[in-house]
Every structure is written in structure tokens, then in C-alpha cells.
Structure 1
Amino acid sequence: MSEENKTISTEKQQEIMEKYDPDAGSRELTGWLGRLAFIGLLAFSLFQLYSSTIHPLPAQILRSVHVGFGLVLIFLLYPATKKNRKLGKLAWYDAIFVLLSLVVGTYWLFFYERIVTQAGSLTTIDFYIGVLAVLLVLEATRRAVGIPITVIAIAFLVYAYWGRQMPGFLIHRGVDIDNLVQSMFFTTEGILGTPIAVSSTFIFLFLLFGAFLVKTGVGQYFNDLAVTLAGRRTGGPAKVAIFSSALQGTISGSSVANVVTSGAFTIPMMKKLGYRREFAGGVEAAASTGGQLMPPIMGAAAFLMIEFIGVDYWSIAKAALIPAILYFTGIWIMTHFEAKRTGLSGLSPEEMPNRKEVFKKLYLLLPILAIILFLSSGMSVMRAALYGILTTIVVGLLRKEKFRKLYIVAFGVGFVGYAIYGMVTGGFDLVQAFIVGGMVTVVVSYLFDGNLVESIEALVDGARTALGVVAATAAAGIIVGVVTKTGLGLKLANSLVSIANGQILLTLFFTMLAAIILGMGSPTTANYVITSTIAAPAVILLGVPDLAAHLFVFYFGIIADITPPVALAAFAASGVASSEPIRTGVNAAKLAIAAFIIPYMFVLENQLLMIGVDNAFELVWILFTAISGMIAIGAGLVGYWFRKVEWYERIPAVIGGLSLIYPSTMSDIIGMSVFVILLALQFLVNKDKIGVPVYKAKPKSSKEQEA
């Protein structure tokens, strides 16, 4: 790669992350405090692995210790105000918060037997511990996640206590303070409820899996592979951004983090080729945000669906596959037309990585393939995550040429040895043979190579990444606890359906607005918990399958990151691209127009989620019409197809595209007729302008990019 294509500095990346992602705003501790934080993060990961494998703990103990670790480390690492981030020391009040968090986190551990046998009655100490737990969770959430979700949680607590003073359908008998504290910390319906249960099991392990993937260099490999496959195509750098961000999204639970890490590489490439700054930032923001929609991992919120809907994870990943493909296809189409409109070519041969060297490292994708294999085999999510981590460690070892042959032999011995054992005993299991081979390889690596440093760093990084999720899910537990205690969810669902007069499209529209508004101020995890509790039931009341309703709110909670006026992912991309934030957000939303349509499609036509697919031909036809519709919409919005799309063609193109996307026979006939007519006009009218760009963008020099 040329020098002109170099990425933005690590310091600049961190600055953008801290500005737009509260989770990245930890302070830089030094000396014994830094070592204490390091040990605490390592202990957090080891505790989670211990409780997941060697000694499972009672649910209340596991969840409370999980919350305790999170609170202690948040107050250690996240200052009360942004200006204290660079001080490198702990304020006296933070030290008090750390000690109080330690007390709250270990309270269930020491008094478990008494609490579970006292039938819901609280001692005076219990009451104050419960109050303290709520206050600490709210403050930790404010620091690590942000103010919006904290305010929402406080509003729900106020609603629970002052229920008698609420207007209209919101009125309820109120929850007295003792009952409220008891439900918030001494039951599994509040802070220790479903959200934190998922955080302390599935989510944490998959975050560790992502941290180990990063240590193996998979993130950089995604970029190299994307450049190799898409770099020479029309508008290559934009397609590289789409491809690499989709891959990065499989291991990243944060749109902002995905934007900054991928965008630091792809946005300078796009700007150099001649893309407008706002468009370059918009492409990266749209693609990075969609990463959370792409199976097999899909970010933290997807794991909450397992508990909320009661289906296995593989069913969720399988259902999300076609919508995710349609989402990225839509962005690909839009960027392709924009590149043709402006006459942008791909990268030059000199700017391309060595294809042979890139393909020699395809083994780095094995952990992703292994996770798919484990999940599709019916293995539990926790075991799949643990074995995924093991696979990642093995793949990381294969990078080391000095011991590579030794590791391959060790893996082969373990695999073949277990296979022979299985065949002799009649219990051969391919997955188990693979896992045993991995275990033998890891043991050999530690004996001969002493390869512990990368593993320890991955454990620490994974725990650090989990802190924001712990705070968000604990705060979300408060919200869910209030909804359960007051019956608010059913009331809101009934009122939403009533306002929409029972019309499915209107109900979906109102639900979309709720999810986007909440998503503008909340991380995806907390947003999904809130909307699935108070908005998804309205859609379910109208007969929509649970999975479709939950994926609907999940989609729009994520898309909030690129929906102006508060589009955090787009704003982060604007920081990398040095572009105007709102315009970048508008470009991102326009590019991701498919994301605003696809959820309606799969609610109205469940076959897109592979629900009730009896006829493969029907599924192929739905996909064909949907992609055709997105081509027409893309041409109408961008203003270019095979030639310039005139203004009088653009409106019919968008209408025809929407007709093709809407799942009905009549709309398909109308949409396809418009599509064919427009396609014919592209070749019959102004034939001499086919392939001629509307204007020719000039590649920018490094000085122009810096300006």
C-alpha cells in the first residue's frame, strides 16, 4: 500500500472513540493503580471462565459478583467527568465507590442462604444494600454508557414509586420503597434479571472470543482480504469498506468502534480516490452499523433474544442471515451507482496487497467458521463460545512459523487419537475430536513456547470491553423490573395498537419511531431490552411471530446510530473523514435505506426469516424482487444506473422499487413492469451517454486530503 493511503494515527482514533463512544472514555491509570486495574480485569475474565467451566454458581451469586466486578472496575477506570481522564489517579470519592461496590458485589456471596430463605422480607442492612446497589448502578451507567440510558432508568423508578399520580392509562397503584428495593436487587426481576443473566454468561464469553480474535490479527486480515477481493472494482475502496466492516461486525458489538477501526483504513482510501468526504464517511458508518446485523455473532443484544424469545441462538442467526445480506446488498448497489456516476475506478495494482500472501492466511477465518459449526451442531451457546476461544488460540499459534509444524503435529495427534478412541467406543464426534486436538495444541504451546502473554492480554481486553455492557444490562434490568412490577409493557402495547387503530403498518411505524428515538441515546443492548419490553409486544398483539417482532425493534435500535440528528456512528465517521457530521449522517441514512425497508418486509413476509418456508422457489422469488427493488431505489436516489437517471425517471424508479419490495403479487407485477420499462429506457434513450459519468471526480493528493 502507498504512503498516501496510510491510516489515521492511533491517537486520533482514540480521540474520536472517546468523543462519540462513552465506553471508550476510561482514564489512564499508572503505577500501582494501573497494576491493580490490570489484575482486576484479569480476575474478572478468569472468574467468568471458572464459573462457566469448572464450578457453575447459583444464578444470584454469579450475577451479583458479575455486577460487582463491573462496578468496581468502572469506578476504577471511568472518572466522574471527562476532564479527569488524563490525570492518571483515583479521586477520593472514587475510592469510596470502589469499596462500596465491593460490598454490594459480594453481599449475595456471603448471605445467599439467608436471603433465599427469608421469603422476600428485608432486614435493615438488606434495604440499605439494595438502595446502594441501585445508586451505584445508575452512577456507573452514567460514566461508562452515558446520560440518556441513566435518565431513562431513573424515570422508570420514579414511575414505579409515584404510580398513583400518573395520568391516563399510565396510572397504577404504586410500588412502596421497600418493595421496590427488594425487587430491584433481591429478586431476579431487577438488576439481577434477564439482561445481566445474559451478560454474565453468553455475552461475556463472546466478548472474550472477540478479544482473542483481535490478538490473532483477524481485524487487519479482514481489511487485507476485502482489498484483495474488492479493491480493483468500480469504486473499489467503498466496496472494501462494506466488505471489511461486515466482517469486522461479526466480532464487534459497537458501531462506533467498528467505524473507527475500519474507517481509519478505508476512509482515507476513499477520499484519495475522489469520493466526497461526507459520502466516504457515510459509506463507512452505514457498513459498520450493519455489522451488528450480520451473523454469526451479531453483537451483544442478539444473545438477549435467546432468553426473551426462548429460541436457540442458531435459529436467530439463521433468521437474520437473509435480511443482513439484503442490507449490505443495498449499500453495495448505492455505492456502485455513485462510483459510476462520478467515474471512480478501483485501486491501482501498486496499491493492492499481495494476493498470494493474503490467501495463504485464510486459516485466520477458521474461528468464525468454527463458531458456525459449533452453533449449527446444536451445541449450547456458552460451550460454542468457549470452544471458539480455544480455536482462536490455536489459529493464533499457527501464525508463528518457528513452532508451526510442531503445533500442526500436536493438533493432528490429539484429533486422530480422539477419533480412534471414539470409533473404538462407538461414540465418535467430529466436533469433540476437533476440540481435543485444539486442547493438545494449546498445552504443547505453553510447554514449548511459553505463549501466555497474548492470552493474558486478550483476557484483560475482553473484560475491559465488557464493562459498558455490564452497566448497560444492569440499568436495563432496572427498567425491565419496573415494567414487570407495574404491567407497563402491556399497557403501552395496547395503547400503541389503539393509536394505530389496529393497522399493522401504522403500528410498525410507531414502533420504529420508538426504537430509533431510544436508540439515539442508548447502546444497542439497552435499547433492545427497552423496546422489546415496551414496543415489541404491540407488534406481537397483531399476530406477528415473536422472532419477527423482536428482530424488527433490534434492527431499528441499531439503525439509530446512523439516523440524524443524533447519529453517533456517522458522527464518528465524520471525525475520521473530517466531514460535516449531519451531512455524513444523511449520506449514511440514504445509503442504508434498505435497513429502513427490510424490517417491514420480514414482518409482512416471514419467509425472509426462513419462517414457514415450504417452497424454495417462493424464497428465491422474494429475494429476486427485493434485490430488484433495491436496484431501482438505488438508481432513483443516486441518479445513475447505466447512464444518468433523469428527474422524471427517478420518482417512478423509487415507487417501482418500493412496489417490488412490498410482498404481494399485485405489487410485484406493478413494480416489475416499472423496472423493465426503466431498464429499457436506460438503453433506448440517450444511448450515447451509457457509461459516461455525470461528472468526473479527480483523485486527491495527500495535501488535498489533509486540507
Structure 2
Amino acid sequence: MNEQSERAAGRQFTDEQLQDLVVSTDSGARSPTSRSVALLISGLALAWSLFQLWIAQPQLWFAQYLPVLNSSQTRPIHLTFAIVLAFLAYPAFKASPRRHVPLVDWALAAVGGFCAFYVFLYSEHLALTARSGLPTPTQVVIGTVGLAILLEASRRALGPALTVVGLVFLLYAYMGTGWLIPDLIEHEGLSFSALINAQWLDTAGVFGIPLGVSTAFVFLFVLFGSLLDKAGAGNYFIQLAFAGLGHLRGGPAKAAVVGSAMTGLISGSSIANVVTTGTFTIPLMKRVGFSNEQAGSVEVASSVNGQIMPPVMGAAAFLMVEFIGISYLEVIKHAFIPAVISYIALIYIVHLEALKKDMPALGEAKSFGGMIVRFFVGFAVAGAGFTALIYAVGALRAVAPALTGPIMMAVLLAVYVGLVAVAARRPDLALDDPNAKEIRLPTVGQVYATGLHFVLPIVVLVWFLMVERQSPAKSAFYATALMLLIIVTQRPLKALLRGQGEAVGSETRAGFGDLREGLIAGARNMIGIGVATAAAGIIVATVTKTPIGTELAGLVEQLSGGVLIIMLMLVGLFSLILGMGLPTTANYIVVSSLMASVVVSLGAQEGLIVPLIAAHLFVFYFGIMADVTPPVGLASFAAAAVSGGDPIRTGFTAFFYSLRTVALPFLFIFNPTLILYGVDLGTMAGVLQALFVFVVATFAMLLFAAATQGYFLAPSRLHESAALLLVAFTLFVPNVWLDMVQSPFRAVPPAAFERVLAEVPEGTRLRLQIRGPDFNTGEMAETTLTMTAEGASAAERIQNSGLLLMPEGDVVRLEEPMFGSTAAEKLADFDFYSDTPVELAVVQVPRDRLPAQLFYLPALLLLGLVIALQRRRQTKPAF
């Protein structure tokens, strides 16, 4: 794009400046003029990617010639690469030199790299000394220097927020008391050597779970996305979105949403997503009638939502696996419906904006309803094909198990060559100038065949995750391995199939060049994540070594007055504020470590059983909103740079468009079915229930969007918007109304607990209200514990629960639950050795009651009334 067209578009930055904005944030802004230094940085990044590919799959044919490293060895090497590259790639300040690496940065890179590599080099010695509680003075010095350099690397790569938070937690862990530390979370303080031992030398601090997730899972997925993008998949997805949606009313905005959703599958950065898709979509949105701020806001809302879209979710999906202790597939299952309905609602929001402003379509207008029908038909066909593939492979495995693997590989290669042959018949895709006088949007028929081979690695990833039930790391490795083949061979194959035999050599070299650049880009994109997960380990270690993890619930309870909805608002606000200076991954680690258990425990005190996954998703959703929200909102600033709009107004508009993302966490806290909690997808009944939940939730979210936009079939009056909000709320959480009318449980005296437990059907979930002295304060506390009746008799069911009951007349005392049981974990805050006993206060047994869906009827009648009122004022079709 030339400078004249950029000025015409009202843009504040050129393409080069926008790319500089992305690399400054994601991969480091330094670009040395010295060829040897540039080669060193690229070489280190390339070596990091190759190292990660090696440790991802040690069972390959060459594994016998290379040592196999365990997690306590791979994590320090991972951090060594991240720290060294952070100081070489990220300048210290905005005014620092970008064309060469200062001597101080060389020194910090060398010393920081040594401190991290020391943990690998002397891992056996550390196991006998520091990790046994006896750190040597040398080890303490190395750990101290390593922590200081890590925090500086974090400041460079991520900004000051995580560094400041890390320092605050280190001071709190060391001091324990002070005028700024509330009495509730005071402690004796750790000695300096114990602090350094816990944070750097042990395996639970900097080198703990967050860095382990970055090493084992996140790098591979980021690398996979980088290779896909370098191969041309990002451009393909954008073009496909425009071919399918660009012809609709407000089509560029709808295409921006879908394009960003697909790009979000391969990009972990909302800012890179904004710039990548926004340079094309934002000018086209402005062209059909969106203001500068609206165009930027649509791109921001859709790009940031890419962080909640499985399978990567800004690396949070893999962290949830480790923090919650559930499988990766379970995380995907719980996160899928909220993410999809959020994107569907955003498409509807921009559709409503197009209706309000009577925006034209680009080219010949097409039917929005027809597009939806075609989408669902295509989705059904793809689903049927995938199901048929599962049965076909199952049959092959039953007939010839030894040949299944080779045959599947041969078929995969044949399909790949066939799809490349189809793509070779069409010219390669190139983005058009969005500011050209005449826009000619491509058709789906012209675009879809040019990049179908990019879908194969995604299919392989899904296959190994969902069908073969392999680990995320192994699944990502196989998908990445196929991507390596594609990026190297697609160019020469196309040249050969197009009859350009003389170009095969040059295209092969270009393919290897793409491979090299993709590997380097993937590693550079990981610098910030690697440093962030290591620095966030400081917070995790502090939470485990001090009372803040267990006592924060009491502090939040005091602030909220014990009211759950106020507590949730405080937690959401805390997540939002903390996220304003942190990347998604670091913010999720910090807030979930502090707040997820608080949501669960305070919910239990209110009698609401909040699943741990719902609490984690709650803090995660609010954390990602920080990329939107002023005054920081980095994605909003990036979008404003493209659109020429005001960044603060862009941020507020994007936040308004993202209200659905703010509302969703509250909804699935009170109705966990929205995240398919308790829904068994292994049965037909479970699948049908999931489909029902999806349809109802989507419909409710569309009504919520219409209410917040002030437009449904016509401009809405205030009472109509309020009615739409009421209908949407009822469809989302009908159980709230039913609970007001009919209690879900009947109370049973504790003395009758065993008799009732013997009578209820197996699998019944009872609620037990436990009362007793708090272990830390001695004051009386209450909580609600769920218990599933598992076993043939009451005694067996009690034994399976881990509870130890001591009936004494009408009172049922509790001894400390069996070690390792769920009950022991849930009741850990009670003092079972106090003179005041811990006792079973109330037993709540589920009662038969009306289905909550009955409240859909008055809600739909109210909706019908709103439709009747608005139909009188409707002047244009709703779709």
C-alpha cells in the first residue's frame, strides 16, 4: 500500500510502523545492523525451536542417539533461551538503541542465561542440597542474581506490571508483616535463603508448573501457529471470511469477526491479530459506513476474543489442565460453547450496526439467512465426514492393526498431494488494496480450494486430541510435523504441477527459507510467554509458602460483606486491573492462583457449588478484557493506529461491544450447564443436551446483544431493551427463578443422615453444610460440601466420600477426613483438634420439582410482545 492510500484511509501509521508495533510487543523490537549479531539472535531462536521439537517426541528413530531429559532439566534450558533472547531482542527503554546490542545487555544475557542454565547443569547437586532444604551460599547468590535478571527481562518483554507484582510478592514473602499488610494475611516471614531456595532453586517457584506448561505445551502450539501463518494460512482464512461474508450488509465487519476467529486459532496474540487482519478489514469497514472508532472496535473485540477460542486460548487451556487436574479435552469441552456463542453474538452486533446505519453491501448483496443455512450445511457435512473417518479407521484397526499407521500416513500424504494439486490450478492468494476505487470480492468457490491443505494439520491435531486421546504435546507435535512437511514441499509441488519444472529448485529453497523463518518467528513469539510464565511462578510459590492463598478468601469476604455477587464483581475488577499491565498468560496464572479458589470457597459458604473450572474461566475472561479496556488496552491502541481513530474512544466502544464477554462468566457461575459441566458427551442423551444448551444459549446471547445495542427489529425503547435483557437472563439461568419458587433441596436432620444416604439412588448428589472452628482464626465458619452417593450401602458410601462421622445423639461430629480424599481438601481450613467440634449442621437432599425450562414460556411470551411492538415500527428486514 502506498503513502497516498494510507493518508486517504486516515491511518496514523504505515505498514512498516504497524509491523514494528507488533514485533515490539510480541517478538522484540531490536533489529541489529551487524550481520553476525543478527545471525546469532536468529540462530538462538532457531536452536530453541529445534530443541523444543526434539524434547516433544523422544520416541523418534534418532532418540537412541540422544539423551532423554526430564521436566526438571528441560525447564531451565527453556528459560535460558528465553532470558538470553529477551535481552538481545528487547531494548531496555524506548530510547535505547535498536540497531546494536549494548554491552550491558550482553552481560545481562550472559549472566541471566548462566543462572538459569546452572539449574540444569547442577540438577543432581541441587536435589541433594537446596531441594533438601540446605542451599549453599553460592546457590543463594546465583538464585538472587537470577531472580533480579528475570524480573528485568520481564519488564523489557512485558512492561513493568508483572515485575512490580513479582517484587511485591517477594517482599511480602520475605517480610511477612508491615503496615501495608492486613492482619489477616500476616506471617512470620521467610529467611532470605529460604526465599531464594523456594523461588529459584526448588522446582515449585520460577521452575514450577507455569514454566513447565510453557516448555511442554505452549511452545509447540505457538510454533504450529507460526508455521501455519508463514505458509499462508492466515491470509487464506481472511480471504475465505471475506468471500463468504463480504457481500452481506456490513459484510467487512462480519468478515473481520470470522477472520479474526480463524486467525485466533493460530495466533496467541490479540495485538498481532488486530494488525494482521485489521490492515485489510478496518479500511473496508470504514468504506461501508463504520466510523473510525467503530471499525477499530469491531476488530479489537473479535481479535481479543481469539484468546477464549479453543484449542490454545492464549496458552491458558494448558495451564488449566495442570492447575485444575482435568484433561485437556475437558477444558476444551467447557470452553467451547461460551467462545462460539460470543463470536456469533459479535457477528449479530455488527449486523445490527449495519441495520441501524443502513449500510450497503460490497458488491451484489446476499442473504444473511442463506449464509447461515449454508454454514450449518457445511458444518454438518464436515461432521459427517469426520465421523465416517473415525468408523473407517476403527474398522481398519480391527482388520489389520499393524498396518493401520502406515496406511493412514500414506492416505494422508495422498490427500495432501491431491489438495495441493487442486490449489495449483488456481493462482496463489494475494490481499487486495482495501482502498482501491473498486473492490471485487472473491467468491467462496474461488478461494476455498486454494488452501484446503492448510486444514490437514488442524484435522491431525483434532484427531490425536479427540480420537486418539493423546496428550496435547504429542498431538501438537504430530500436527507440527505435518506442517513442517507442508511448508517445505507446497511451493515445489505447485511449481511441478503447474508445469514449471525449471522453478522447482528455487521454490524448494524458498520453502526451506519459509521453514527457517517460521521456526525463528515461533521462538521469538515465545520469548514473552517464556519469561512471563517463569516470573508468574514467583506468585505461585508465594501463594503456596504463605497464608495469602488460604486467607485471601476471608479478605475478599470482608470487602464483599459475604454477598456472592459483590464478591464476583470484586474478583472480576481485580482480574481486569491486574490484566491491564500483564499479558493473558501471566494474568491468568496470577489471578487464578489468588482468586479461583476464593470464588469456589465463598460460593460454598453461600450454598452455591461453583465448579473449579467455572472459577478459572471466570478470572480468565476478565483478564483478557484488559486488552480492550482503557487506559491501557494495547489492542485498542493498535486498532486505532490502523483506523486513524481515537484510541480511548476505540477502547470504550470495544468494551461496549464486549459486554457479552463480561456477562458470560457470571452466567456460567450460576448455571454451570452453559460450560457443559455435568454433561456426558459420551452418550446420545448428553450430546442432545449439549445441542439444546448451545441453541438456547446462542438465542439468549443474541437477545442480550440486541438489548445492549438498543436495536432489535427496530430501534428499541428503554422498556423494550429491559424486557429483552429479562428474556435473555431467563433463557440463560432459568434455575434462578425456579429456586425462588421451589427450593432444590429438602433439609434433613444430621441424625437421619445415614438412613437417608441408604435410601437415595446411587449417583445422587447431596449437599452437606459443615460448621466448625476455622483453623487459622478459631472463629466459627461454615461451608457447603457436595457428596455423591457411590456404593451399595450407607457405610460404603460414607467410606467412599472420605468423611469420618461420629454420631452423638442428635449431633454428628466430624473427625479429620481421610488423607487424599476430596473431603480432606475441601475441609482443610477447619480445626478438627479444637475443643469446639466440627459438625454436620444440615443435610440437603435433592427434591423432585418442576423443570426449570417452564420459565421459558413466560419469557417467550414477553419476547413475542416485544416483537409485536417493534414490528409496527420495523422499516427494514431483520436479516
How would you bin the TM-score normalised by the shorter chain?
0.7 to 0.9
What is the CA–CA distance in structure 1 between the aligned matches of 2:123 and 2:311, rounded to whole Å?
37
The CA distance in 2 between the partners of 1:282 and 1:590, in whole Å, is 9
**How far does residue 669 in structure 1 lie from its aligned partner after superposition?**
4.4
Give 1:77's aligned amino acid: A
SS in 2 for 1:90: coil
Amino acid at match of 2:471: S
Which AA in structure 1 matches 2:590? I
Q: How does 1:23-42 map to 2 (within 5 A)?
A: 24-42=28-46
User: What is the letter of the counterpart of residue 64 of structure 1?
Assistant: P
Indicate the RMSD between aligned Cα atoms, in angstroms: 2.7
8 A contact 2:338–2:675 mirrored in 1? yes
Give the conservation status (yes or no) of the 8 Å contact 1:330–1:591.
Answer: no
Q: Following the alignment from structure 1 to structure 2, what is the Cα–Cα distance between the partners of residues 321 and 583? A: 31
For 1:563, which of 620, 629, 640 is the aligned residue? 629
Give how far 1:24 is off: 4.5
Q: 1:390 aligns with which of 481, 484, 507?
A: 481
Alpha-carbon shift at residue 504 of structure 1 (Å): 3.4
SS class of match (2:268): coil
Q: SS of the counterpart of 1:128?
A: helix
Contact 2:278 2:642 (C-alpha < 8 Å) held by counterparts: yes
Greater relative contact order (CA < 8 Å, ≥ 6 in sequence): 1
C-alpha change, 1:134 and 1:446, in structure 2 (3 Å) is farther
What displacement does 1:396 show? 3.2
Residue 580 of structure 2 contacts residue 627 of structure 2 at CA under 8 Å; is this kept in 1? yes
Query: Residue 400 of structure 1 aligns to a residue in which SS?
Result: helix
Structure 2 CA distance, aligned partners of 1:81 and 1:450?
36
Q: Which residue of structure 2 aligns with residue 531 of structure 1? A: 591
- 1:75 and 1:16, CA in 2 relative to 1: closer, same or farther beyond 3 A? closer
**Matched AA of 2:173:** A
Change (3 A) 1:582 1:448: closer
Does structure 2 conserve the Cα–Cα contact (< 8 Å) formed by 1:397 and 1:404?
A: no
The aligned counterpart of 1:44 is 48
CA deviation map 1:506-550 (0-9, x unaligned): 332222111111111111111111111110001221231121111
Counterpart in the other structure of 1:642: 713
Q: Return the alpha-carbon distance in structure 2 between the equivalents of residues 532 and 690 of structure 1.
A: 46
> Amino acid of the residue matched to residue 89 of structure 1?
H
One-letter amino acid of the structure 1 residue matched with residue 123 of structure 2: Y
- Say whether residues 1:493 and 2:559 are aligned partners: no
**Deviation of 1:481 (Å):** 0.9
Tell me which of 642, 648, 654 is aligned to 1:576: 642
CA–CA distance in structure 1, aligned partners of residues 513 and 691 of structure 2:
49
Partner of 2:379: none
Question: In structure 2, do the counterparts of structure 1 residues 102 and 538 end up closer, same or farther at CA, with 3 Å as the change threshold?
Answer: closer
Identity, in percent, stands at 36
For the residues of structure 2 that align with 1:545 and 1:648, how far apart are their CA atoms?
35
The number of residues matched between the two structures is 653
Which 5+ residue runs of structure 2 have no aligned equivalent?
59-66, 365-438, 499-503, 736-851
Give, in angstroms, the shift of residue 561 of structure 1: 1.4
* Secondary structure, aligned partner of 1:268: helix
Are 2:199 and 1:195 aligned?
no
8 Å CA contact retained: 1:632, 1:675: no
Query: Who is 1:103 aligned against?
Result: 114
Shift of 1:501: 4.5
Q: Note closer, same or farther for the CA distance 1:291–1:659 as it changes in structure 2 (3 Å cut).
A: same
Range that drifts further, 235-244 or 32-41: 32-41
Aligned equivalents of 1:203 and 1:560: distance in 2?
21
Give the structure 2 partner of residue 278 of structure 1: 293
Deviation (angstroms), 1:40 = 1.1
Change (3 A) 1:85 1:682: farther
Equivalent runs, 1:596-675 vs 2, <5 Å: 596-613=662-679, 615=685, 618-664=689-735, 665=852, 668-675=856-863
> How much does 1:23 deviate?
5.0
Change in Cα spacing, 1:187 to 1:445, as seen in structure 2 (3 Å) is: farther
Give CA-to-partner distance per residue, 1:547-599, whole Å, 9 cap, x none: 11111111111122112333221222111111111221121112122111111
Inter-CA distance 234–472: structure 2 relative to 1 (3 Å threshold): same
Say if 1:237 and 1:99 are closer, same or farther in 2 by CA, change over 3 A.
same
Query: Is the CA contact 1:371–1:388 (under 8 Å) kept in the aligned structure 2?
Result: yes
C-alpha contact (below 8 Å) 1:153/1:475 kept by paired residues: yes
Could you tell me which residue of structure 2 aligns to residue 141 of structure 1? 154
Q: Secondary structure at the match of 1:452?
A: helix
Question: Which one of 278, 281, 306 corresponds to residue 266 of structure 1?
Answer: 281
Q: For structure 1, which runs of at least 5 residues remain unmatched after alignment?
A: 408-443, 694-707
Paired with 1:525 and 1:449, the residues of 2 have a C-alpha distance of 36
SS in 2 for 1:535: helix
Q: Give the alignment of 1:163-312 within 5 angstroms.
A: 163-165=176-178, 166-312=181-327
**C-alpha deviation, 1:103, in angstroms:** 1.7
> Against the structure 1 CA distance between its residues 337 and 627, is the aligned structure 2 distance closer, same or farther, given a 3 Å change threshold?
same
**Amino acid of the structure 2 residue aligned with 1:129:** I
Does the aligned pair in 1 maintain the 2:596–2:615 contact within 8 Å?
yes
Question: What is the deviation of 1:671?
Answer: 3.4
CA, structure 1 residues 259+450, in 2 after alignment: closer, same or farther (shift >3 Å)? closer
Structure 2: how far apart are the matches of 1:162 and 1:148? 21
SS in 1 for 2:104: helix
Q: How far apart are 1:220 and its partner, in Å?
A: 0.3
> Which AA in structure 1 matches 2:546?
T
- TM-score scaled by structure 2? 0.70
User: 126, 129, 151: which one pairs with 2:164?
Assistant: 151
Partner of 1:457: 517
Q: SS of the residue aligned with 1:599? A: helix
**Residue 474 in structure 1 maps to residue 534 in structure 2:** yes
More strand by share: 2
Match of residue 401 from structure 2: none
Question: What is the rounded CA distance, in whole Å, between the counterparts of 2:678 and 2:505 in structure 1?
Answer: 48
Name the structure 1 match of 2:133. 120
In the superposition, relative to structure 1, how do residues 641 and 16 fare at CA in structure 2: closer, same or farther (>3 Å)?
Answer: same
Deviation at 1:105, TM superposition (A): 2.7
Give the corresponding residue for 1:372.
462
Residues 669 and 510 (structure 1), Cα distance of their counterparts in 2 relative to 1, 3 Å cut: farther
Q: Quickly say closer, same or farther: Cα 1:153–1:499, change in 2 above 3 A.
A: same
Check whether the contact 2:260–2:273 (CA below 8 A) recurs between aligned residues: yes
Q: Distance in 1 between matches of 2:26 and 2:691?
A: 43
- Residues 28 and 90 in structure 2, CA contact (< 8 A), matched pair in contact too: no
In structure 2, how many angstroms separate the alpha carbons of the residues matched to 1:445 and 1:533?
A: 53
The AA in structure 2 aligned to 1:295 is P
Letter of the structure 2 residue corresponding to residue 14 of structure 1: Q
1:467-496: per-residue Cα shift (whole Å, max 9, x none)? Answer: 000111111011111111113111112332
- Match of residue 93 from structure 1: 104
Moved more, 59-68 or 247-256: 59-68
**1:288-343 CA deviation, whole Å, 9 max, x = no partner?**
00001111222212211111111121211121110011111111111111101101
Q: Distance in 2 between matches of 1:266 and 1:484?
A: 46
